[in-house]
Chains A and B, each alone.
Chain A
């Protein structure tokens, strides 16, 4: 081995180094390639809040409580069960449609997005979301497996445009401890709830006299949804067909006036908390600052958890009922629901299959989601003994029949809700007369709908 040969120690060292570098690079490239091949990535965007600190690693879904905990652990479980699929979750501020709009406008939409049934017609009518009939049938999910209300919520022009996940409504969450103090509890321990508008005022006054606290805990500040949902519910109870034509609302009616007058009277008589936004109203109810929280199905799980703890205002004294029928027309309550939609975009067949698997998993685990308090979208869940055993579900089971949404063809339901909330809020707070507020709401909504 001469000094000038290829095998000089110097050269040998360089060659070894080069070989080492090359093989490392090859290894890295190989690793990247295999991981890219093995894992199909899908981007999922949702509201329901962020709770990674508590549930970031939890895969035992039965341990989770509340919307955020349950959906986070459901996705964790799905990823654990399907190591070949990587679900990249982005959490957005409720309801997240601004962000989605920006993403759709810039061609950067995620693969799966949480969407209210009431928002689907906006996106479907512009071709921004894809029908999912084929994705479901490929996984053997029959549309008949969903409840009528849930299927109706996502069906547009004969196609399913989202995986229905639940139905939800506003409810009367009752603090039985305070209701007992107010003498508004029957001998069997159930609360005495009003059966007419007059009774509501009378019982509210009785509650206030006995406990010194407001009867209702409502979200009256910094939010519009609560006003709109109560108005829709009480209009439905009077058989008012305020959206007979889906492109035109009729609000200048005696029925609407009845409702707003009632809401104003509740406020004027001091029978409700005032000035609370969503978060403050939830805290206020759990602190025992009022008798009945008018809030959504999604809080049942959290409130039950509170009632099972010692030393809270709800300890051993929580129950929940649908918004009572206050008008003789019919028993009805405004309902909406959550679904998972697929924005229109190019996907690989693997991604579509992965989304299908995710949808199947979510449908199969709809019972877990129903533990939040939402009504299941999958029919079979209603028959499950575990579901029947969940607390208070028998009280609210009737919502499956009495829940009604706005007609499916009504567009911009979130914008309409904002206008109603603002105008009805103005009337309730005395900033406007009731007639003026209803007239203004009607003309603003009709201007909006006429200019779509």
Chain B
């Protein structure tokens, strides 16, 4: 460590300059610009006027914002565990090197490469009343079909189903990569001790991939708080705003109502929420590893 530090030169930093400049222009600058906009009464087309924290008080007093915030939190609380558990389950089931498992891995990952438009179109065929798959099936069984996309509760649920189906590939792949890193001698030792499969899972497999579980959880929390396309295309946030996520609120305020300052203030709240969620996960994960050491 000390040797490499002595040999390091400032000019080595030039290697990260290309990345750093793109990072600064496309991420750091917009971050601060967004914060600056949130302090102004401004539309999309010109200079605004400084209003201090006025936009923040307007956002917090807006019942539609609070509803969207609640929707986003519920969505994350339901979709992230589903993605982690299903992803882990698929990875465990497909952690073999046979032809069938390779094919199935590809199959389960394939939904991730589709665009949001295709995904929502497919699920619209499933959920739409009248000619939709679920409507047809429930009519076959003589059950009154549910209007999934226009009933409170069901609409957000439907968006969640489409999202889990779409996003499942990445968690599965990350878990598979982690599972293949576990040294085989651990399993051999467990086999010699006559450990049951459940015991192997809970005492060997899961502890070995704990960091990956945490990583997947953080990635999914950050991603699912940014839910937008599926909700906009499938339900348009309805009915009664019950499936409107935070990003859709920001989009509506900024682009449909041209109230960019207020939208920027709402974005800062979203940024803060994602930051806190990610930091909390990070703190918990680092504390756990200390205990185990």
Contact = CB atoms under 8 A, between A and B. Distances in A.
Interface in B220-245: 234-242
Contact of B257 (A221, A274, A289, A448): A448
Given A222-B235, A425-B239, A431 B152 contact: yes
A126 interface: yes
B157 interface: no
25 contacts: A97-B256, A102-B44, A102-B255, A221-B150, A221-B239, A222-B149, A222-B150, A222-B236, A222-B238, A224-B236, A274-B147, A275-B150, A275-B151, A280-B129, A283-B131, A412-B257, A415-B256, A422-B238, A425-B238, A426-B239, A429-B152, A429-B240, A448-B257, A451-B259, A452-B258
Given A431-B152, A431-B240, A451-B262, A98 B255 contact: yes
A13 to B, nearest CB: 46
Nearest to B58: A451
A105 interface: yes
Given A126-B46, A277-B128, A280-B130, 10 more contacts: A97-B256, A221-B238, A222-B150, A222-B236, A277-B149, A412-B257, A422-B241, A425-B238, A429-B152, A432-B240
Nearest to A127: B45
A280 B127 CA distance: 12
A429 B236 contact: no
Contacts of B256: 97-98, 414-415, 418
Interface in A93-134: 97-98, 101-102, 104-105, 122, 126, 128
Contacts of A101: 44, 255, 258
A415 to B, nearest CB: 5
B125 to A, nearest CB: 11
B189 to A, nearest CB: 57
Nearest to B54: A451
B240 A422 contact: yes
Interface string A243-278: 000000000000000000000000000000111110
Given A126-B45, A275-B129, A429-B150, A223 B236 contact: yes
A260 B70 CA distance: 28
A284 interface: yes
A356 to B, nearest CB: 26
A289 B149 contact: no
A220 interface: yes
B239 A431 contact: yes
A41 interface: no
B129 A105 contact: no
A426 to B, nearest CB: 4
Contacts of B234: 222
A444 B64 contact: yes
Interface residues of B, number: 34
Interface of B: 41, 43-46, 58, 62-64, 128-131, 147, 149-152, 234-242, 252, 255-259, 262
Interface residues of A, number: 40
Contacts of A283: 131
A235 B90 CA distance: 56
B147 A221 contact: yes
A274 B44 CA distance: 37
B239 A126 contact: no
A415 B150 contact: no
Nearest to A98: B255
Contacts of A429: 150-152, 239-240
Interface string A413-452: 0110010001101100101100000001000100110011
Interface in A43-71: none
Contact of A104 (B45, B63, B129): B45
Contacts of A440: 63
A5 B41 CA distance: 79
The 3 closest A-B pairs by CB, nearest first: A275-B147, A426-B240, A221-B150
Contacts of A102: 44, 255
Nearest to B259: A451
A104 B258 CA distance: 12
A278 B255 CA distance: 22
A425 B147 contact: no
Contacts of B129: 274-276, 280
Contacts of B236: 222-224
B45 A128 contact: yes
Contacts of B239: 221, 422, 425-426, 429, 431
Contacts of A415: 252, 256-257
Nearest to A418: B256
Contacts of B255: 98, 101-102
Nearest to A224: B236
Nearest to A123: B45
Contacts of A274: 129, 147, 150
A220 B150 contact: yes
A379 B234 CA distance: 41
Nearest to A284: B130
Contacts of B237: 422
A222 B124 CA distance: 12
A33 to B, nearest CB: 36
A105 B150 contact: no
A431 B147 CA distance: 14
Interface string A152-170: 0000000000000000000
Among A126, A224, A451, find the residue whose CB has the most chain B CB atoms closer than 10 A. Answer: A451
Interface in A307-342: none
B149 A221 contact: yes
A122 B45 CA distance: 12
Contacts of B130: 273, 275-276, 280, 284, 289
Given A101-B44, A451-B259, A275 B238 contact: no
B37 to A, nearest CB: 12
A105 B64 CA distance: 27
A441 to B, nearest CB: 12
A47 to B, nearest CB: 16
Given A101-B258, A274-B147, A418 B252 contact: yes
B213 to A, nearest CB: 36
Contacts of B259: 448, 451
Interface in A280-298: 280, 283-284, 289
A392 B236 CA distance: 34
